[in-house]
Amino acid sequence: MDNNTKQQKAVVVGAGLVGSLWAVFLARRGYQVEVYERRPDMRAAGYSGGRSINLAMSERGWKAVEKAGILDKIRNVAIPMPGRMMHAVNGDLTFQPYGKDGEAIYSVSRGGLNLELLRIAGEFPNVRFFFDHRCVDVDLNNPVVTFEDMQTNEIKTVDAPLIFAADGAFSAVRYAIQKTDRFNYNQFYLEHGYKELTIPPGPGGAHRLDPSALHIWPRGNFMLIALPNADGSFTCTLFLPFEGETSFEKLTDNAAVDAFFNRYFPDAVPHMPTLRTDFWENPTASLVTVKCAPWQWQNRILLIGDAAHAIVPFYGQGMNAGFEDCTILDAMHDELGGDWSAIIPQFARRHQPNGNAIAELAQRNFVEMRDLVADPKFLLRKKIAAYLHEKHPDFLPVYSMVTFSNTPYHTALQEDDAQNRLFERILSLDNIEQEWNGPAVETVFRQWREKG
Amino acid sequence: MDNNTKQQKAVVVGAGLVGSLWAVFLARRGYQVEVYERRPDMRAAGYSGGRSINLAMSERGWKAVEKAGILDKIRNVAIPMPGRMMHAVNGDLTFQPYGKDGEAIYSVSRGGLNLELLRIAGEFPNVRFFFDHRCVDVDLNNPVVTFEDMQTNEIKTVDAPLIFAADGAFSAVRYAIQKTDRFNYNQFYLEHGYKELTIPPGPGGAHRLDPSALHIWPRGNFMLIALPNADGSFTCTLFLPFEGETSFEKLTDNAAVDAFFNRYFPDAVPHMPTLRTDFWENPTASLVTVKCAPWQWQNRILLIGDAAHAIVPFYGQGMNAGFEDCTILDAMHDELGGDWSAIIPQFARRHQPNGNAIAELAQRNFVEMRDLVADPKFLLRKKIAAYLHEKHPDFLPVYSMVTFSNTPYHTALQEDDAQNRLFERILSLDNIEQEWNGPAVETVFRQWREKG
């Protein structure tokens, strides 16, 4: 605990994953932390699934969880997924490992993780939670935040000399900052929506599919995925355009839903006894990407997590990116002696390009995931990439940089651009299908290494 | 006057250029028009300059003004600028015509034009103005708009079954729509700001510079421009980065301002006796681009003008684009028999790509304007383009498509991309400096025409 911060007040808006983790970090340093959250207290109210894609925890997430002191608790309920299992329409299965031996991403329950973080934060005497508090206004200049107590309809103003806005993709704090001069802001929705579905546990509580994989049914412009849960079930997510020939708008009754699933996901249907109910009861939700700059207001308000960089879920990095914000901020706190007037603008400036980069990578990975099987060129590229990595171990797949390292996302994006240029050249070589490990590939690779 | 619209109410939010013009169009068709405007009534209060770039009226603007029945009134005070006059640091002048003989853009006073439009609109008995009314909330579903009367602080709710939001780049109506699902929104600020300055009339009220040109002092990363006014003065605008080596933040006192102007704009300084006063009294304003989609909320609210597509001023198209919204809507009103539930979504879908296109073209033209003299490649390109246009009259400069025609902006942007590809090839020909009108140019041009 730093002595100089003992009395300093810090307001955290939002008690989701990033807000509650960040409250833990602040509490450990002795700040007087006040956390305001629109929803009820999950610890009392319980949590429901329904509208959250399962999380895939990877290196950046683990690093933060370890720093927060809950590594073991989370690891015990996390399910390793060392690769993806692709389901063809005819039922053929293809397994692609995500990394090297021992490397995996981990399926974690969003609600369970949030609950654990709230409990940890709640154990600190210097953390106070205010649930059912909706942020309705931010007076940027004073600085005062106004909340509505949703149980009493009371309006409260809170002095907030230091604010961390972890209030998500639709951040109320960010909406206030958006109207100030020279704030760049972009919200972009995919044409696809998503809907959560379920594969319940099989007989005796066993998983009905191999639990050591992230399952994908890639179908070109749409896909189904399934992540294992600790209770033997899988959480499935259907990603499908809102409108068009094959789309949510066309699935208007049970007959249409049945026909769609039987046609495209026939091997999944027998495992989905509650398909119809799930389909009608669960909402069709949209997928937004938010980019903005700067991430701060003066030196007193900092946007973190989805409030600063909401991304689509296709790289499994949304939570990992938000957690990385916390570890980087925590390291900068040491580096700059806890001087927020230096930490906030430096963090915002240095780290913002990483937010843009993971947003871009996540959008690119959607194309990869849904087109995976359909494109033989892509599978050939994967084969050549693996071959090159074996011959030149320092030639790392971008997926590994993003998932199994703490390399800045911006660097990973640059590498992705560079590798795209490399494989454009390789795949245009004569007879590349036959000579995928031939000398011409090696020549192109060496030229690329030397000259880019 | 259409009989079927006689009783229908239309709410226009904003009485700027586009809002007041659109009120005229609606009034002519017999709608019961209510126009709400945050600012006081310009007709009573007068208007002030200070923070508005002079307007360059071109084809799309004239077309709308003619339809509104005020062509002659505006033409009488508009000053034709058939080309741009570039000022080198050493005082050398170069004149580049904008189009063919007789083609010009016209310098118009923003305030004067707005006043004229308000007067015309005010002559209709079916138009009611509500000035000093700030839009504070839009209940999208009801549909009700809430205004604050800024003189009485009274809050009024207005039933608004049909709303045209012409409330500018920072549209309150759009902020309400922004929070709805699947609304794409992007606000982007240039690193440059601008400041208005003045060249007063010379002795006897004569213009101190040639009034039949838009004057530009292009200096690489920044520039000064000047547009003639009817009273013998010029309105000047300095475009300069906010931060950096040569920037507004470095111009902190009279000595710095004097040194900067003497170094970069020595031939302008003698004509700017009020430079210091203007510099400190006029604000440094920012330059925003706004893109969004869709431009409508359901079939009842339509964003028009800057509320839908705020752009930077470098193509002189901001007002022209907003006025074009009105003429296109008016034509669609005929086409679709006044059925707003068809007009609004069709206008939004068809016309939105044109908003994106002119935003992009305006940003590109900034680079052209400020780098104009500095880059000999660019001047060579201009020379070859003129030569090709003479040989092939249907090879039109993009500037002419945008400025002197009603070609959709989207088509003009595609042509700009295509011509950029053409000139990339032409300028990489051997000895192009000498052989700029040689057979190799003609060959490349023919190939490009055939295959793109």
How far is residue B267's CA from residue B270's CA, in Å, rounded to a whole number?
7
Q: What is the pLDDT of residue A100?
A: 86
Q: Among B179, B187, B242, whose Cβ lies nearest the Cβ of A185? A: B187
Q: Assess whether pLDDT exceeds 80 at residue B51.
A: no
How far is residue B412's CA from residue B402's CA, in Å, rounded to a whole number?
6
B355 or B4: which leads in pLDDT: B355
Contact between chains at B179 and A170 (C-beta distance less than 8 A): yes
241-260 in A: which are within 8 Å (CB) of B? 242
Q: Among B170, B181, B184, whose Cβ lies nearest the Cβ of A188? A: B184
Distance of CA B451 to the CA centre of its chain: 34
Q: What is the pLDDT of residue B369?
A: 82
How far is residue B371's CA from residue B377's CA, in Å, rounded to a whole number?
11
278-297 in B: which are within 8 Å (CB) of A? 286
Q: What is the pLDDT of residue B217?
A: 95
Q: With contacts defined as CB-CB under 8 Å, which chain A residues touch B286?
A: 181-182
Mutation target among A136, A189, A286 for the B interface, most CBs of B within 10 A = A189
B288: nearest CA partner in chain A: A182
**Measured between CB atoms, does A189 come within 8 Å of chain B?**
yes
**Measured between CB atoms, does B186 come within 8 Å of chain A?**
yes
* B216 Cα to chain A: minimum distance (Å): 26
Contact between chains at A178 and B188 (C-beta distance less than 8 A): no
Q: With contacts defined as CB-CB under 8 Å, which chain A residues touch B179?
A: 170, 175
Amino acid, single-letter form, for residue B195: K
The reply to whether omega before A82 is within 30° of 0 (cis) is no
Q: With contacts defined as CB-CB under 8 Å, which chain B residues touch A187?
A: 178, 183-186
* A311 Cα to chain B: minimum distance (Å): 14
Percent of chain A with pLDDT over 90: 84
Structure confidence by residue, pLDDT tens digits, B105-129: 999 988 889 999 999 999 999 999 9
Mutation target among A136, A186, A249 for the B interface, most CBs of B within 10 A = A186
- Mean pLDDT to the nearest integer, B137-148: 94
Give how far Cα B10 sits from Cα of A282, A413, B128, B428, Å. 39, 49, 11, 56
Nearest alpha carbon to residue A78 among A50, A109, A43, A49: A109
B45 or B240: which leads in pLDDT: B240
**Measured between CB atoms, does A179 come within 8 Å of chain B?**
yes
* A167 Cα to chain B: minimum distance (Å): 15
- Mean pLDDT to the nearest integer, A157-165: 95
* A194 Cα to chain B: minimum distance (Å): 13
Give the strand pairing for B144-149 and B234-241.
unpaired
Structure confidence by residue, pLDDT tens digits, B364-423: 999 888 876 567 888 899 889 989 998 998 999 999 999 999 999 999 999 999 999 999
* B187 Cα to chain A: minimum distance (Å): 5
A289, A188 contact by CB (below 8 A) = yes
Q: What is the pLDDT of residue A51?
A: 42
* Inter-chain Cβ pairs, chain A and chain B, closer than 8 A: 36
Q: With contacts defined as CB-CB under 8 Å, which chain A residues touch B178?
A: 187
**Measured between CB atoms, does A51 come within 8 Å of chain B?**
no
Q: What is the pLDDT of residue A46?
A: 65
Structure confidence by residue, pLDDT tens digits, A245-270: 999 999 999 999 999 999 999 999 99
Tell me which DSSP letter residue A212 carries: S
Tell me which DSSP letter residue A250 carries: G
Q: With contacts defined as CB-CB under 8 Å, which chain A residues touch B171?
A: none
Mean pLDDT of chain A: 93
* B199 Cα to chain A: minimum distance (Å): 28
Structure confidence by residue, pLDDT tens digits, A398-418: 999 999 999 999 999 999 999
* B180 Cα to chain A: minimum distance (Å): 10
Amino acid, single-letter form, for residue B155: I
How far is residue A342's CA from residue A345's CA, in Å, rounded to a whole number?
6
Contact between chains at A186 and B182 (C-beta distance less than 8 A): no
Tell me which H or E stretch contains A289.
strand A285-293
* A189 Cα to chain B: minimum distance (Å): 5
Distance of CA A440 to the CA centre of its chain: 39
Q: What is the pLDDT of residue B452?
A: 75
Q: What is the pLDDT of residue B1?
A: 43
Q: What is the pLDDT of residue A66?
A: 95
Mean pLDDT of chain B: 93
Q: Among A39-53, B1-15, B413-427, where is mean pLDDT lowest?
A: A39-53
How far is residue A83's CA from residue A366's CA, in Å, rounded to a whole number?
16
**Measured between CB atoms, does A185 come within 8 Å of chain B?**
yes
Q: What is the pLDDT of residue B70?
A: 86
SS3 (DSSP) at A310? coil
SS3 (DSSP) at A227? strand
Q: Assess whether pLDDT exceeds 80 at residue A7.
A: no
Q: Residue B202 — pLDDT band, cuts 50, 70, 90?
A: very high
* B388 Cα to chain A: minimum distance (Å): 35
**Measured between CB atoms, does B170 come within 8 Å of chain A?**
yes
Q: With contacts defined as CB-CB under 8 Å, which chain A residues touch B187?
A: 178, 183-186
> Given strand A32-36, what is the order of strands in its sheet?
A127-130, A32-36, A9-13, A163-165, A301-303, A296-297
Q: What is the pLDDT of residue B53?
A: 58
Tell me which DSSP letter residue A270 carries: G
Q: What is the pLDDT of residue A407?
A: 97
Q: Assess whether pLDDT exceeds 90 at residue A131.
A: yes
Contact between chains at B187 and A183 (C-beta distance less than 8 A): yes
How far is residue A417's CA from residue A411's CA, in Å, rounded to a whole number?
10
Nearest alpha carbon to residue B130 among B294, B295, B250, B12: B12
A253 or A49: which leads in pLDDT: A253
Q: Residue B2 — pLDDT band, cuts 50, 70, 90?
A: very low
Q: What is the pLDDT of residue B76?
A: 85
Q: What is the pLDDT of residue B3?
A: 46
Structure confidence by residue, pLDDT tens digits, B275-299: 999 999 999 999 999 999 999 999 9
Phi, psi torsion values for B376, nearest 5 degrees: -65, -30
SS3 string of chain B? CCHHHCCCEEEEECCCHHHHHHHHHHHHCCCEEEEECCCCCHHHHCCCCCCCCCEEECHHHHHHHHHCCCHHHHHHHCEEECEEEEECCCCCEEEEECCCCCCCEEEECHHHHHHHHHHHHHCCCCEEEECCEEEEEEECCCCEEEEEECCCCEEEEEECCCEEECCCCCCHHHHHHHCCCCCEEEEEEEEEEEEEEEECCCHHHCCCCCCCCEEEEECCCCEEEEEECCCCCEEEEEEEECCCCCCHHHCCCHHHHHHHHHHHCCCCHHHCCCHHHHHHHCCCEEEEEEEEECCEECCCEEECCHHHHCCCHHHCCHHHHHHHHHHHHHHHHHHCCCCHHHHHHHHHHHHHHHHHHHHHHHHHHHHHHHHCCCCHHHHHHHHHHHHHHHHCCCCCCHHHHHHCCCCCHHHHHHHHHHHHHHHHHHHCCCCCCCCCCCHHHHHHHHHHHHHC
Q: Residue A377 — pLDDT band, cuts 50, 70, 90?
A: confident
Q: Among B179, B182, B286, whose Cβ lies nearest the Cβ of A189? A: B182
ipTM of the complex: 0.91
Q: Among A175, A186, A286, whose Cβ lies nearest the Cβ of B181? A: A286
Q: What is the pLDDT of residue A3?
A: 46
Q: With contacts defined as CB-CB under 8 Å, which chain A residues touch B175?
A: 179
How far is residue B190's CA from residue B241's CA, in Å, rounded to a whole number?
8
Mutation target among B182, B186, B349 for the A interface, most CBs of A within 10 A = B182
